[in-house]
Amino acid sequence: MSADVRSFFGRPIIIGGGIAGLLTALHLAPEPVLLLSRTPLGADASSAWAQGGLAVSLGVDDDPALHLADTLAAGDGLCDAEIATRILHAAADAIETLATLGVRFDRTSEGALLLGLEAAHGRRRIVHAGGDGSGQEIMRALVEAVRSAPSITVVEGVEARRLAVEDNTVRGVWASCSMSPVFFGTGRVVLATGGIGGLFLDSTNPSGSCGQGLALAARAGAVLADLEFIQFHPTALDGPDRPMPLISEAVRGEGATIVDETGRRFLEGVPGAELAPRDVVARAISKHLSKGHRAFLDVREKPGSAFARQFPTIASACRVAGIDPAYDLIPIRPAQHYHMGGVAVDPDGRSSVAGLWACGEVASTGLHGANRLASNSLTEAVVCARWVAESVAGSPIGVRTRSKAREIPAPNPLSLRPLLSRALGVKRHGEFLRDAVSAMLPLAELHHAASDPAAVGLMIAVAALLREESRGAHYRTDFPDLAVFARRSRLTLDGALATAREFACSSTLEELEQ
Ligand code: SIN
């Protein structure tokens, strides 16, 4: 292995084998790159589970300005309008790129792209594949392209554990290997590690997604942004399976309704009803459940008999759960689904650490604001992968460095899930957030399997504690109103640890005074 490792010296390293990572690697061709994936390609990437598709304003009644308006409205005052404009204008080209790479999108008999509707979109603008199998089809095509690209070396079963950084500049990656840690010397690293669902009890993400990219960036000293904004999907299939099977918003786009055990459409009075922004629907369902009700999706009338054909993945998940959607209501509850926060990046995906880029869910470009508009994330990943690749290609390769071997334990978030789920759920309160911060603080500073997930959980909880307002997906029962000024949040690990110590100190003083 070590001879091989030396021969990779200086190559850009892409960490993560989902859509963002694969496309970045493809766009970098013919430059030789190394792609590190924890699992066999496509096996554990949340990209492959994406049902909805890519949002793009291709309809005759649509244009990027309308798409932008819906994105900004859903983002609740926190989107970066400039970057959002740039990304949404590039969306049509991104679809073309995927089609050229062999993605078989769903089309009309005349060959035009079929456009679906999802919540908070004013137009039909979701391009999809295989009905509800968009992620799987895109991954199929990209994995095939990557496997046959001579410039890309894929290293599977290896996990990046630390970035080597000197003078705020990337010098390499420490990764796990079956025998001993391996060091890859490089001055250019792209994080494309996905989200944080593995930190939660109820999530629609693969359980291996526990914020590894955020931990790598944070421990390298990078600035992270908007960490407190976590999206809960309103309609996860409420059964025993974890991760929870997703029931796409596109099902509601085709007319399905949400009812309770009495058959009442309890969202009827909410503006937009079932197609209100995702945070609004998730909160309404969560509130109804907390009053002792149950919540169901009713697809019997609409999409009706078309359901199984239009949504084969969901129909199969229902079958496995013993539900026949033609006759039965589908039990649902909100579950963690997407992280709007991430590594703070500029439009080219550059982080605050020289030589470190981020792309896809792990990055925070500013497109999503406080609440992501449905299907904007795949669009963002595909569009930004090109810009990241161009930026990486135009950057110096960095200098050789020596670094001592470091054994870092594999991250294990299992013990943290109950606490983080309670503190960082659909509804939050300062008391639970402070509990989470106090519990994460000692763990985050140890050298333990829970330490990296604890560092990420701590940073999110500190960001949530500091945001004393309710905005988008961040709802504080102790601060239910919107603040007058919208501001994005930024945090480093050192800053979060210092704030956590202050909280811990002031709680101890309060206890002593009582
Ligand atoms: C969905 O299909 O409802 C999920 C799409 C997304 O998360 O953007």
CA atoms within 13 A on the CB side of 13: 30
pLDDT at 407: 84
- Rounded CA gap, 17 and 47, in Å? 9
Q: Is the separation of the CB atoms in 392 and 191 below 8 Å?
A: no
Any ligand 1 atom below 6 A from CB of 398: no
- Give me ligand 1 centre to Cα 337, in Å: 9
Any ligand 1 atom below 6 A from CB of 374: yes
Q: Which amino acid is at 233?
A: H
pLDDT at 261 over 50: yes
- Give me ligand 1 centre to Cα 49, in Å: 10
- Average confidence (pLDDT) over 394-400: 78
Please give the structure tokens belonging to residue 102: 């062999």
Mean pLDDT, the chain, integer: 95
- Give me ligand 1 centre to Cα 138, in Å: 15
Please provide the CATH number assigned to the domain covering 411-513.
1.20.58.100
**Which residues make up the CATH 3.90.700.10 domain(s) of the chain?**
234-334
pLDDT at 339 over 80: yes
pLDDT at 94 over 90: yes
- Rounded CA gap, 91 and 56, in Å? 6
Helix-, strand-, coil-residue percentages of the chain, each rounded to 5: 40, 15, 45
Backbone phi, psi, residue 52, to 5° = -60, -65
pLDDT at 397: 81
Q: Is the separation of the CB atoms in 388 and 365 below 8 Å?
A: no
Q: Which residue, 449, 466, 455, is CA-closest to 408?
A: 449
Q: pLDDT category, 511, cuts 50, 70, 90?
A: confident
Work out whether strand 182-185 and strand 169-175 pair parallel, antiparallel, or are unpaired: antiparallel
Beta bridge partners of 476: 428, 479
- Give me ligand 1 centre to Cα 455, in Å: 28
Give CA separation, 10 vs 5, 173, 464, in Å: 10, 11, 38
Q: Is the separation of the CB atoms in 53 and 229 below 8 Å?
A: no
Any ligand 1 atom below 6 A from CB of 51: yes
**Which residues make up the CATH 3.50.50.60 domain(s) of the chain?**
8-195+340-393
- Average confidence (pLDDT) over 323-346: 98
pLDDT at 2 over 60: no
Cis, peptide link before residue 303, omega less than 30° from 0: yes
- Rounded CA gap, 383 and 366, in Å? 14
Instruction: Tell me what percent of the residues of the chain surpass a pLDDT of 90.
Output: 90
- Rounded CA gap, 434 and 381, in Å? 34
Please provide the CATH number assigned to the domain covering 234-334.
3.90.700.10
402-453 pLDDT tens trace = 667 678 899 999 999 999 999 999 999 999 999 999 999 999 999 999 999 9
Any ligand 1 atom below 6 A from CB of 375: yes
Please give the structure tokens belonging to residue 469: 């307002």
Please give the structure tokens belonging to residue 83: 């970057």
pLDDT at 3 over 50: no
Check residue 337 and give left, alpha or beta (phi > 0: left; psi -120 to 50: alpha): alpha
Give CA separation, 105 vs 111, 136, 155, in Å: 10, 11, 29
Any ligand 1 atom below 6 A from CB of 52: yes
CA angle 339, 332, 248 (to 5 degrees): 55
**What residues act catalytically?**
278
Atom of ligand 1 nearest to the CA of 118: 3
Q: Which residue, 397, 475, 386, is CA-closest to 429?
A: 475
User: CATH number for the 8-195+340-393 domain, one of 3.30.420.40, 3.20.20.210, 3.50.50.60, 3.40.50.300?
Assistant: 3.50.50.60
**Which residues make up the CATH 1.20.58.100 domain(s) of the chain?**
411-513
The protein residue with its alpha carbon nearest to ligand 1, atom 8, reads 375
